[in-house]
Amino acid sequence: MSAPPVDPALVEAAVAIARAAGDLTLGWFRSGSLTVEQKGDGSPVTAADRAAERFVRDELARRYPQDAVAGEEEVDTPGTSGRRWTVDPIDGTKAFTRGVPLFSTLLALDDEHGPAVGVIHLPALSETVYAGRGRGCFCNEAPARVSTEASLARACLTTCGFDDWPDAMLAGARASGAALRTWGDGYGYALVATGRVEAMVDPIIAPHDVAAMPVIMQEAGGRYSDLRGSDSITSGDAMASNGLVHDELLALLAP
């Protein structure tokens, strides 16, 4: 039995919250007053990250006080409703701190049936890709679908960067014949969902990086998995595609 469609009001709320949080970060974008700190794992964090996540948490607490919330910058908030939100206030902080407009705000909702809502908001590009289970995928309110290209030789594969790719994996990508690009982070997944590229590959990810992606890819007609073909978001790696090139790419890239 398939999972029921999600309440469209939850999709509308998620999109509104993600858009407002992402747009909040523009107050720091390309600002001379922006300072960058290093977290314990060496990754960058800014006041914009913290302010955007705090905004999302405050909005969720006001609207859905019984829901659990997980995020990148603060400790998890437990809940009793059976629903769990996951927020990444700025996915692509390195791009953000360098004035590159490809960063995004990510928001996801899982319920008792699994992935329910996913939002990728790209504030500097005025673009939002979002989906609700059983409700379709959209880009700025227009329906979004993955590419119909079935040939890897004519496909485009994107990633955050090739520094973290093992040599064998990079050799597999090159052997695929696909054009290789580095339009990464949430933006890369948005490109897949809207048919502008055929695949996005992340050799290293955290759950908040990809919590929004399974429902977005499903509703756009594509596929999300880790590099072993599981639909897990906790494996530490991820791939999204139009579905037509997915298995072939997995065979070339599997760890």
Rounded Cα distance between 118 and 9, Å, is 13
User: pLDDT per residue over 130-140, tens digit each?
Assistant: 999 999 999 99
Domain boundary among 84, 108, 143: 143
* Residues ≥6 apart with Cβ < 8 Å to 32: none
d(CA 227, CA 238): 6
3-state secondary structure 200-233: EEECCCCHHHHCCHHHHHHHHCCEEECCCCCCCC
- Does residue 2 lie in a domain region? no
pLDDT of residue 220: 99
Average pLDDT over residues 207-226: 98
In a domain, 1, yes or no: no
Tally of domains in the chain:
2
Residue 4 has pLDDT above 70, yes or no: yes
SS3 content of the chain, % helix, strand, coil (to 5): 35, 25, 40
pLDDT greater than 80 at residue 200: yes
pLDDT at 1 over 70: no
Residue predicted with more confidence, 59 or 73 = 59
- pTM as predicted: 0.96
- What are 130-189's pLDDT values in tens digits? 999 999 999 999 999 999 999 999 999 999 999 999 999 999 999 999 999 999 999 999
Same domain, 42 and 118: yes
φ, ψ of residue 246 to 5 degrees: the values are -65, -55
Strand, helix or coil for residue 252: helix
